[in-house]
Structure 1
Amino acid sequence: MTAIAPFAVVPELPYLCRMMGATTAGWETVHTVHDYYDGPRNGIADYRGVPHAYKCEWDDAADDWSVVFLLSPITPEQLAAVEEDWSIWRRYLAKFQQGTLEPDDKHPALAADWPRHTQLQATVEDALLVDEARAERAVPEFRGTIEPEHDFKVRWQSSSE
């Protein structure tokens, strides 16, 4: 069997695991993906059952993304704000993809949602901050899709770095 690279997006993984008699236990929820480049790089996901901000480390020596992600826990209030703002973004994205945006709609929110998006912005930005000095480090394996529906899961392996 071919090894799957860390942060590989594998939509057929549950099917392959069932065919091989393996389990998909240990998969956790990816609440949001705020930055995506060849896979999720920044957002909110559960780590050991608790919502955390995740951020991919940059490897200066390799001049590329590391396989190691930094993780910092967030509060229930931050999670609520992030999820509400994520819903605002998804409504905007749906209208954009349908080609039905109105003139006052602007990225990343519909005109009707803009005031609430603005209210949530500071809380969301704070939630996404990762304190590198205190962060936990882990290597993710993502599965799922970003489009047309956000449907990601992640399984974390501890990192000794």
Structure 2
Amino acid sequence: MTDWYDGPRKGVADFEGKPHYYECPWYVGIDAGSDELAEDYLLTPLDAETYHLALEDWAIWERWEAAFDAGTVTLATHPALPEDRTRHDEIEELLRTKLVTNRQLCQRAKGVFSYEGAKRFVEWTIIP
């Protein structure tokens, strides 16, 4: 997950066994005023390298979150521990142009997210 606002808004996930970038249409301007689209997402296929970079950056954030919750770092270090900052910045720059919705390739889907401890799951249903 790369963005959260009242629920997952952007991130990466498997769909039909392949990596995809998901983005809530509210962020990309589709019917921005409609609450009805709050759980609808656009899914864009990703290459494996981009997917793994996004997962690596997520792991960096999870380490930061654990340290923040333990009180060993402050919000000023967000979103990476000092020892992870350089790598986070490198990944962030690489992902800036890769984690985007491709209007020619994307599919619209309903996403139902669930959580078991720190694990996150999503079930996608394509919207025709």
Identify whether the pair has TM-score above 0.5, normalized to the shorter chain.
yes
CA apart distance, 1:132: 2.8
Query: Per-residue CA shift, 1:65-114, capped at 9, x if unaligned?
Result: 613210111111111211111111111111111110179x6111111111
CA distance in 1, matches of 2:45, 2:63: 27
CA distance in 1, matches of 2:111, 2:24: 10
- The aligned amino acid for 2:87 is R
Q: Is the 8 A contact 1:43 1:55 kept in 2?
A: yes
Q: Structure 1 residue 38 and structure 2 residue 6: aligned?
A: yes
| Residue aligning to 1:48 | 16
| Residue aligning to 2:63 | 91
User: Unaligned regions of 5+ residues in structure 2, if any?
Assistant: none
Report SS of the residue matched to 1:79.
helix
Aligned positions of 1:121-132 closer than 5 A: 121-132=92-103
Aligned positions of 1:112-151 closer than 5 A: 112-144=83-115, 149=118, 151=119
Query: Per-residue CA shift, 1:5-38, capped at 9, x if unaligned?
Result: xxxxxxxxxxxxxxxxxxxxxxxxxxxx122233
CA distance in 1, matches of 2:8, 2:104: 22
CA distance in 2, matches of 1:102, 1:38: 23
TM-score w.r.t. the length of structure 1 is 0.68
User: Unaligned regions of 5+ residues in structure 1, if any?
Assistant: 1-32
Aligned residues: 124
Query: Per-residue CA shift, 1:27-78, capped at 9, x if unaligned?
Result: xxxxxx1222332111001111101000111253743361321011111111
Provide the alpha-carbon RMSD of the alignment: 2.2
CA apart distance, 1:127: 3.4
Which residue, out of 29, 38, 44, partners 1:72? 44
Q: Is the 8 A contact 1:57 1:65 kept in 2?
A: no
Instruction: Name the structure with the higher helix share.
Output: 2
Report SS of the residue matched to 2:11.
strand
Identity %: 36
